[in-house]
Amino acid sequence: MTSASTRRAPSVARGTPRTPSHLHVSYIEPRTLQTLLDSATPELMAVVSFGQPLPYDVSCPVMAPDLPQIAGSPLIEVWTSARPVHTATDGRLSTAMNGEWLIGAFSLDEPPDQPLDALTYDAYRAILRRLNDSGYPHLCRIWNYFPRINDDQDGLERYRRFCVGRHQALAESLPGFPCSLPAATAVGTQSGPLQIMFLASTEPGDHLGNPRQMNAYEYPAEYGPRSPSFARATLFRSDQDNVLFIAGTASVVGHASRHIGRPADQTRESICNILTVLERAGAIGNTDFLDKASLAMYKAYVRDTGSLSEIRGALQRSPLSSRPLLFLQGDLCRKELLVEIEGLIFSE
């Protein structure tokens, strides 16, 4: 089991019992979930199953994006809390709250007559309303998953329609937009509904840019009528620890895609972007996010399974190599992008 938490004791890394944490995330084998379900603590906040439906009935928010895991034994992502968790659901939107963090999952089948921009706008409006009503107004991380991301829908690529709806809702309703935009991922699934998972807090975080990359929310119009609404990373700091969420990071320098058709080079460029963000976040948080003592988890979204070995090779020869890494098959928001990497680091 690989894991990270907001109240990490040094003993965790040595495999001894860990101290109670407010928020904890781990990748576990699916059969281990039953043990977690049978025990009173920690309480589940969310479960994410990749490429297959969850074989158990759970009362917390669940995401099952059709993003098949393409290397290693099957793992599911489990978010837990040592504090009591309160859950709420209204069918398409379910949330779990522990007094400090809120995790939500939105899922809606696309009605055939509704364009993706309109659906996304409604989804984000519902999410933002729920966050405000629940007292967790500060967005810290968002994952967006939907199928046929590069397909055309009535003259506009579906990813671009998604960006239009997301931008409209956030520009209207997110205080401090665009500087308060959180780290995000937007990846195309093989099938299924529009699914959005989000993490919000009672306290605000710091949203970071990357000096090697233009802020996505300032991209020029050649990438679509509305820019992608996300930050390169979001950093949360408390007395105890630092939590860094690194957005989906691809081979983009400035605003341009680099290394067209070359998966290994795209991987190296993405890693270079991540290392630059780690450096910036480390300076702000007074932490070394590459330190072996910190707990980091990465996901690599791979467009073509045929390029997996090249991408894996480049990662193995990088400073990220010692960290848990999940390889998922997913389509990326620009047709030429072959790999995208996101990260999550808890550090003291």
CB of 256 to ligand 3EB, least distance (A): 10
300 is a contact residue toward ligand 3EB (CB under 6 A): no
DSSP 8-state code for residue 182:
P
3-state DSSP helix/strand/coil % of the chain, to nearest 5: 25, 35, 40
184 is a contact residue toward ligand 3EB (CB under 6 A): yes
Question: Could you please report the per-residue DSSP string of 134-178?
Answer: HT--EEEEEEEEEE-TTSEETTEEHHHHHHHHHHHHHHHHSTTTT
CB of 210 to ligand 3EB, least distance (A): 9
Nearer residue to ligand 3EB within complex by CB, 15 or 220: 220
φ, ψ of residue 72 to 5 degrees: the values are 80, 175
Q: Which of 252, 264, 326, 339 binds ligand 3EB (CB under 6 A)?
A: 252
Which of helix, strand or coil describes residue 212? coil
Instruction: Give the C-alpha separation, 15 to 229, whole Å.
Output: 39
333 is a contact residue toward ligand 3EB (CB under 6 A): yes
Judged on CB neighbours under 10 Å (0-12, 13-18, 19+), 262 is: middle
Nearer residue to ligand 3EB within complex by CB, 144 or 307: 144
Nearer residue to ligand 3EB within complex by CB, 80 or 249: 249
CB of 17 to ligand 3EB, least distance (A): 36
Count, residues near ligand 3EB per rule CB under 6 A = 13
CB of 152 to ligand 3EB, least distance (A): 18
Stretch that binds ligand 3EB, among 52-60, 150-158, 181-189, 320-328 (CB under 6 A): 181-189
196, 143 Cβ separation under 8 angstroms: yes
Stretch that binds ligand 3EB, among 63-71, 109-117, 180-188, 193-201 (CB under 6 A): 180-188
Name the nearest CA neighbour of 124 among 184, 82, 78: 184
In the shown chain, the binding pattern of residues 190 to 229 toward ligand 3EB, with x for contact by CB under 6 A and - for none, equals --------------------------x-----------x-
What sections of the chain are H helices per DSSP?
Answer: 32-38, 116-134, 158-173, 263-285, 308-316
Positions touching ligand 3EB (CB under 6 A) are 144, 184-186, 216, 228, 230, 247-248, 250, 252, 333, 340
